[in-house]
Chains A and B, each alone.
Chain A
Amino acid sequence: MSLDASLDALEDAAELGVGRIDDADVDAIRAVLAGAASRRALSSEHTVVGLFGATGSGKSSLLNAVVGQELARAHVRRPTTSEPLAAVWGAEGSDALLDWLQVTDRRHVDEPFAGDASLSLILLDLPDFDSVAPEHRAIAERLAGQVDVLVWVVDPQKYADAVLHHAFVAPLRSHGAVTAAVLNQVDLLPAGAVPDVVASLRGLLAADGLADVRVLPASATTGEGIEAVRAVVARFARDRAARSARLAADVASAAARLDAPAIAPEVPAADRERLVDGLCAAARVDVVAQATGASYRKRAGQATGWILTAWLLRLRPDPLRRLHLLPQRRPRDRDADLHRTALPTPSSAERAQASLAVRGYADAAAAGLGDGWRAAVLQAANDALAIVPDALDRAVARTDLGARGSWWWIVLAIVQWIALGTALVGVGWLLAAALLPLWGLPGPEVPLEQGWPVPTLLIAAGVLLGILVGLLGAGLGGAIGAARRGRARRRLRRAVAEVARVDVVEPIVLERDRAVMFADAVRRVRG
């Protein structure tokens, strides 16, 4: 994978993870990105090789031996070197690079390095990292993060020191491709002991996590092995790959700090169903649907019931009106959001039910996420909770419950009136037949139909028809009311599901997707 791609992926990871992962990790990534940007803007011709080592391990002597000139001051007093010194081959572009490295002591060397005039190289002699002078260590630590190639210079006395292995080599274990170790001062070892010590050093480096690193025995005093050190440095300079390899190693090491848990791609559908169920309960979907059915039944009864008793039904409150949801009272073009103000604020019980549902969903969505991501998901859930109860009420208010009356009410009402009229005609007829003769007026005739007086039959037929139509109306009202209840429930559930999607699921899934993308970016960095 190219360095560009991994740097991009690392940047993505930092952008996505900020506020969700450890700030220290974000800072480390930003440092790597900044370092990479700076180094890449500077000379790509030069390879920066740093000689790191303990005090007295002979870094300065090694530099002098490798260069072939007395550039650095070597001395018996410890610690000797307090400022980094740069031996520079190829002046062009080196100044900006050295400015960035904050190395002021620059020695331009005219003779080509290792006999190859094409090599552009900066060889740094660095202060020690283990002496009583802490400022030396600070310089060494800073430059260990900047150079292209790390050369650990050790000596037979100090090659097993804890500070070298624990504080420097092990933390830079990802950088094996740009690391070499020089066992200096081999002249002090008894003859024949060198391979054993080299093997021991190799073992220690392997324990630090650097299994394949080159270990070069050398002696600055006798000149033994110096040629090999020079050759290794020259190879790094010739390949010109060290800069990228170093940055790639930095990226890998920054990515190693990050956690990239495998996250299921989707929140299980069952959890989403549970959310909608919970929100439906909070929005009292069942109650509203019941009320819709009951309201239809009641109004059907009012309209189609036997007129002499149907008026009593008007005394019962309309269940929908009690919920401020009766459609006739609301002009079709009125905005539901304004209408919302007429609804009572949700009860604490409803809020609690909504809250339980939303939090349950957030918990399911946060399963498998790290602490920071989980907190972000729960935060999204809390934000959603602030708006969900209102949104639910608006959704319910806006939903067309289908509570309007039906055409058959009018038909049955007309029949009822006809039935009433018929009965009244009969009553009038009988009254006229009974009363008019009393006042000396000719009373209407009362014809008989198969032995029954016609007015009486009219009354009986009118009353019977009224009751039958009333029963029919009640039956139809009940059946259609049940259907209306079911329809209202479906519509309300759809509206609630929409609220769940927009106000709960989307913000939570957004946060969750961010976690998935982060994990993906980390995996991309790791290649």
Chain B
Amino acid sequence: MTDATIAALERLEALRRALEETRLPLAVEGVDAARDLRRRALAQIDDYVEPRLANLDAPLLAVVGGSTGAGKSTLVNAIVGLPVTRTGVIRPTTRQPILLHAPSDRGWFASTRILPELARITGTVRQTPQPASAAGDEPDATRIGSVVLVGDERVPADLAIVDAPDLDSVADENRALAGQLLAAADLWLFVTTANRYADAVPWAALDDAAGRDVTVGVVLNRVPASSAGEVEDDLRRMLGERGLGAAPIFTVVESPLDELGMLAPDAVAAIRGWLVGIAGDRAERARIAGRTLAGAASRLAATTREVAVARAAQVAAADELDRIVATRYDDAADRIHAATSDGTLLRGEVLARWQDFVGTSDVFRTIEGWFSRTRDRVGAFLQGRPAPVVQVETAIEHGLHAVVVDEAGGAAGDAWQRVRATQAGRQLTAGVDLSREGDDVAGRTSRLVREWQAALVQRISDQAGDRRVKARVLSLGLNAVTVTLMVIVFASTGGLTGGELAIAGGSAVVGQKLLETVFGEDAVRRMAKDARDDLDERVRALLAEEAARYAPLLDPVREGASATDLEDASHALERAMATVATEPLDEPEARA
């Protein structure tokens, strides 16, 4: 093994890891195709590219593939000259692929270096030939993940033949296995019939083969003798149109089978001759293996880039969902900010309680002041009613609480609807319900309000460092100062109009003047601003927690290899493969 090969193997391993770690969970457009590409690329690395790159001189694998009913099994039996694989009229027939090899190649094919996911079952050739309709094992759907190895001298050395399931069968597992085997083939014997040769499905596989530069031989089976020439010409034209003009066409005329269900040997002599010729020519073998490998590697790199595009689309879709949620919650935070700073929070209940607290607004306020206050205190004492200052506080708390909880609920509903409006979002949120606000938002909001108030009290205490100020605060009551500051916070940006301004704004102005006499103008302004910012920050934190309920759904999408990782890996593999291709082939090594 040369350094270039070792380097290429390392690159291949890196690419494999990147593909392995690529996640495509979101249902965005084209994701099914991308998942399929990724799965097939991984399988092809394991089944073919890696073992072939590591052992360029290993025996070739020729896969006989084609449509259901094209006569693949009959053809294989004819090529090796004995009924090994079961034929029949019931479709789909071949379920378990049979790999025919020369006994000397057993070591390579029995190892799990190629097709590692398929279990190996060793088959034996019966001494007394069975009819082809009963040859091989009973079709067994549970054994679809295995391959039967049959060693026989009649198979040319250094070239194994595998009988693949149908490309276009109604059985999904057949189609998948056929695709897997074709991806692992060095050489493809494509079998079609006069009825079949214009089918779309096999031509898609042939286009793929042409793209990968696989060596293809085409068998035109079951052709009525009368129309053989015309059909062959038409088929050659179609092959030419698709860049497969160089592929040899072997026409097998529809002919009766013998009592063992076998075609006459001379019907397939040309095919056998072609295969034996390749098997016997080491240089030709190496050329075919190298060409298929190079094609597969470059296709692999291209596939990886397609997966990278799909991966980028996944991340973009996740980001988009994230953005939808974040935008709605940002909006909610803005609305809470607006609702709590335009003074509307001070209307109604709060305003009423504030007026209770600062006293009546009439001209008799001073006269009445002592009377009403005394009576209120006595009344409160006798009736157990809270003092007005506590009522203002409660009213503010309730108002603020309702605003935050409402916006959190509204944002949850809207964000949910917007997420569910996208296909990816619908699939992502299939198992959860985030349409309401999270658990205990009401409780958490209460805590938020309490903590904000505690911070407010702390701020006032800090501000009242000076003994003189402290004395003034005490004379008013810390509660009263706190409430007054809250009122200033909620009216700080104005927004009140007309008569409202006179009532709510006027009240706030009274409060502001009061506090300014205690702390000084700048200090009041600063405290109000700090308290405002503190509230906004706490609200945003709460809403961020709410938005983060989508994180457990979205984060896994972002994990794993990135699109750039995939692109880098694909380019690195291409560069490494270019070095391998320009090097002369290794001298033959002793094969195990």
Contact = CB atoms under 8 A, between A and B. Distances in A.
Contact of A322 (B193, B347, B355): B355
B426 interface: yes
Contacts of A315: 360, 362, 364, 367-368, 371-372
Nearest to B197: A78
A113 B355 CA distance: 98
Contacts of B168: 161-163
B89 interface: yes
Interface in B283-332: none
Interface stretch (A231-239, A344-352, A483-491): A344-352
B350 A200 contact: no
Contacts of B198: 55-56, 78-79, 131-133
Contacts of B364: 315
Interface string A322-357: 110000000000000000000011111111110110
A158 interface: yes
A347 B351 CA distance: 10
B561 interface: no
B200 A344 contact: no
B238 A132 contact: yes
Interface of B is mostly: helix
Contacts of B426: 371
A131 B405 contact: no
Interface string B41-78: 00000000000000000000000000111100000000
Given A55-B195, A356-B405, A161 B234 contact: no
Interface residues of A, number: 60
Contacts of A166: 170
A303 B250 CA distance: 120
Interface string B422-439: 000010000000011000
A189 to B, nearest CB: 5
Interface residues of B, number: 72
B587 to A, nearest CB: 45
B272 interface: no
B478 interface: no
Find the residue from B89, B171, B417 having the highest chain A CB count within 10 A. B89
A349 B351 CA distance: 12
B399 A375 contact: no
Given A76-B231, A317-B362, A347 B350 contact: yes
B91 A163 contact: no
B74 to A, nearest CB: 12
Interface stretch (B1-9, B19-27, B337-345, B538-546): B337-345
B265 interface: no
A190 interface: yes
Contacts of A162: 168-170, 172, 175, 201
Nearest to A342: B499
A218 interface: no
Contacts of B142: none
Interface stretch (B182-190, B406-414, B459-467): B406-414
A246 B340 CA distance: 64
A160 B91 contact: yes
Interface string B153-173: 000000000000010111110
Contact of A130 (B201, B222, B224, B421): B201
Nearest to B406: A352
Given A78-B197, A157-B68, A316 B360 contact: yes
B413 A359 contact: yes
Contacts of A130: 199-201
A307 B342 CA distance: 45
Contacts of B340: 348
Contacts of A412: none
A190 B74 CA distance: 14
Nearest to A291: B352
A398 B407 CA distance: 30
B346 A347 contact: yes
A350 B348 contact: yes
Contact of A132 (B90, B194, B203, B400): B203
Contacts of B345: 347-349
B494 interface: no
A155 interface: yes
A134 B203 CA distance: 12
Contacts of B346: 347
B2 to A, nearest CB: 43
B417 A163 contact: no
Contacts of B347: 344-347
Interface centre among A56, A161, A204 (most CB of B within 10 A): A161
B475 interface: no
Residue of A166, A284, A347, A374 contacting most chain B CB atoms (<10 Å): A347
A159 interface: yes
Contacts of B448: none
A378 B557 CA distance: 29
B35 interface: no
Interface in B361-415: 361-362, 364, 367-368, 371-372, 398-400, 402-403, 405-407, 409-410, 413
Interface in A66-81: 76-79
B89 A156 contact: yes
Contact of A316 (B172, B339, B372, B410): B372
Nearest to B341: A348
Contacts of B91: 156-157, 159-160, 200
Given A347-B344, A347-B345, A197 B90 contact: yes
B92 A160 contact: yes
Nearest to B194: A76
Given A315-B362, A347-B346, A378-B417, A197 B405 contact: no
A14 B275 CA distance: 62
A8 B339 CA distance: 50
A196 interface: yes
Contacts of B521: none
B483 to A, nearest CB: 16
B349 interface: yes
Contacts of A131: 198-200
Looking at A163, A363, A375, which has the most chain B CB atoms within 10 Å of its CB? A375
Interface in B215-243: 222, 224, 227, 230-231, 234, 238
Contacts of A77: 230-231, 234
Which of B234, B352, B372, B402 has most A Cβ within 10 Å?
A: B402
A193 interface: yes
B500 interface: yes
A353 B406 contact: yes
Q: Which of A165, A166, A316 has the most CB of B within 10 A?
A: A316
A287 interface: yes
Given A132-B200, A157-B69, A160-B68, A359 B368 contact: no
A312 B375 CA distance: 12
B252 to A, nearest CB: 14
Interface string A94-129: 000000000000000000000000000000000000
A466 to B, nearest CB: 20
A57 interface: yes
A356 B437 CA distance: 11
Nearest to A379: B417
A55 B234 CA distance: 15
Contacts of B222: 157
25 contacts: A56-B194, A76-B227, A132-B203, A134-B200, A156-B69, A157-B70, A157-B195, A158-B68, A160-B92, A190-B89, A193-B89, A196-B90, A197-B89, A322-B355, A347-B347, A347-B351, A348-B339, A349-B345, A349-B398, A351-B406, A352-B405, A353-B402, A359-B409, A359-B413, A363-B413
Interface of B: 67-70, 89-92, 166, 168-172, 175, 193-201, 203, 222, 224, 227, 230-231, 234, 238, 339-340, 342, 344-352, 355, 360-362, 364, 367-368, 371-372, 398-400, 402-403, 405-407, 409-410, 413, 417, 420-421, 426, 435-436, 500, 503
The 10 closest A-B pairs by CB, nearest first: A349-B399, A56-B195, A157-B69, A78-B198, A160-B91, A348-B339, A352-B406, A76-B227, A347-B347, A352-B402
